[in-house]
């Protein structure tokens, strides 16, 4: 990279080029600008290198796309040049195929409310919130473990320790997600398929966790996802109720899909 200081026009040009590259994975620029909280007209000016964002807006963009300030100075292709094992030659036609171009119709972006039985306390259930987003041709998922569940395992409850992220894959009759906490401390596998509902916004399946067999606790249980779209009021409501709960606290349709009184199959 050149040691020469770049002129404002060069910075705008590099940023605009990088922003166009980062936005390729989103089918709607209007939706993307809405997720970022940026006026569509202003966002188009960034894309065309006509304008440059304020520092706080730049920080928001970098956080959303998970890039750093080098987005001003070098191509994102160089910044993201770490080899990807899933799309490598060895796995490209196997796992790699499933990670690419999962359609919004099959599994839309946005917030999801999920519910399942607790792995650690069989008489308790868990309500949680995750966010699904597109980036380039991939679909990612992100959320946070409940504080009470982390405490029960003797784990720290800070923001970083609770966060999990994953990759969503296409399956013949649904979707699967490989999810891990930071530094691969623990992982899980989710499988979901869409079920008939009034708004066509429910998925049911199961989740398994990567722990050794013990005499207490389960390693697999039923799972329900409800798509909330980009409704921040519903997302905040779900976030407020996240964590351990009783079966009576689970909404009726979630209970119906979980079938808590039946055996896990």
Residues 49, 120 within the same domain: no
pTM reported for the whole predicted model: 0.69
Are 194 and 64 within one domain? Answer: no
**φ, ψ for residue 198 (rounded to 5)?**
-60, -45
Burial environment of residue 192 by CB neighbours within 10 A (0 to 12, 13 to 18, 19 or more):
buried
CATH number at residue 178: 2.40.128.120
The whole-angstrom separation of Cα 43 and Cα 16 is 10
Q: How far apart are CA 197 and CA 28, in angstroms?
A: 26
Question: Are the CB atoms for 113 and 257 separated by under 8 Å?
Answer: no
Q: What integer pLDDT is reported at residue 3 of this predicted model?
A: 54
Q: Are residues 142 and 197 in the same domain?
A: yes
The set of residues, in sequence order, having a beta carbon less than 8 Å from that of 259 and lying 6+ positions away, is 222
Helix (H) or strand (E) holding 169: strand 163-171
SS3 50: coil
Whole-angstrom CA distances from 6 to 12, 75, 195 are 10, 14, 54
Domain harbouring 50, CATH code: 1.10.260.40
CA distance 213 to 200: 37
Let me know if residue 3 belongs to a domain.
no
Say which residue, 197 or 147, is predicted with more confidence. 197
- Same structural domain, 173 and 45: no
- Beta partners for 59? none
- Give the pLDDT band of residue 2 (cuts 50, 70, 90): very low
Phi, psi angles (nearest 5°) of residue 55 = -55, -40
Domain encompassing residue 243: 110-258
Q: Is residue 92 part of a domain?
A: no
- According to DSSP, the residues that pair with 119 across neighbouring strands are none
137 lies in some domain: yes
- CA–CA dist 247, 237 (Å, integer): 18
State the pLDDT confidence band at 92, using cuts at 50, 70 and 90: confident
Residue 82 pLDDT grade (very low, low, confident, very high; cuts 50, 70, 90) = low
Q: Could you give the CA distance from residue 219 to residue 72 in angstroms, rounded to a whole number? A: 45
Q: How far is CA 118 from CA 35, 77, 138, 150, 187, in A?
A: 32, 41, 30, 12, 16
Whether residue 132 is found in the same domain as residue 254: yes
Average pLDDT of the segment spanning 80-88: 65
Q: What is the per-residue pLDDT across 15-38, written as a single tens digit (0 to 9) for each?
A: 889 888 888 877 788 888 888 899
- The domain total for the chain is 2
CA distance linking residue 257 with residue 244, whole number of Å? 18
Percent of the chain at pLDDT above 90?
47
Q: pLDDT per residue over 162-217, tens digit each? A: 899 999 999 989 999 999 988 877 899 999 999 999 999 999 999 998 888 776 67
């Amino acid at each position: 990279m050149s040691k020469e200081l770049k002129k404002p026009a060069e910075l705008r040009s590099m940023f605009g080029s990088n922003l166009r590259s980062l936005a390729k994975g989103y089918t709607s620029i209007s939706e993307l600008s809405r997720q970022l909280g940026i006026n569509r007209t202003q966002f188009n000016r960034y894309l065309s290198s006509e304008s440059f964002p304020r520092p706080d807006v730049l920080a928001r963009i970098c956080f959303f796309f998970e890039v750093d300030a080098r987005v001003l100075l070098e191509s994102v292709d160089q910044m993201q040049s770490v080899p990807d094992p899933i799309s490598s030659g060895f796995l490209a036609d196997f796992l790699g195929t499933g990670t690419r171009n999962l359609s919004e119709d099959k599994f839309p972006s946005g917030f999801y409310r999920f519910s399942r039985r607790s792995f650690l306390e069989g008489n308790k259930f868990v309500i949680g919130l995750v966010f699904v987003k597109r980036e380039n041709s991939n679909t990612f998922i992100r959320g946070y473990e409940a504080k009470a569940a982390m405490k029960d395992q003797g784990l720290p409850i800070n923001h970083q320790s609770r966060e999990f992220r994953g990759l969503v894959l296409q399956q013949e009759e649904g979707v699967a997600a490989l999810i891990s906490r930071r530094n691969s401390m623990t992982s899980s596998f989710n499988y979901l398929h869409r079920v008939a509902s009034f708004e066509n916004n429910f998925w049911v399946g199961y989740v398994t966790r990567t722990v050794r067999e013990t005499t207490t606790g389960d390693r697999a249980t039923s799972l329900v996802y409800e798509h909330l779209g980009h409704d921040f009021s519903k997302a905040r409501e779900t976030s407020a109720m996240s964590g351990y709960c009783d079966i009576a606290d689970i909404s009726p349709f979630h209970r119906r899909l979980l079938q808590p009184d039946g055996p896990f199959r």
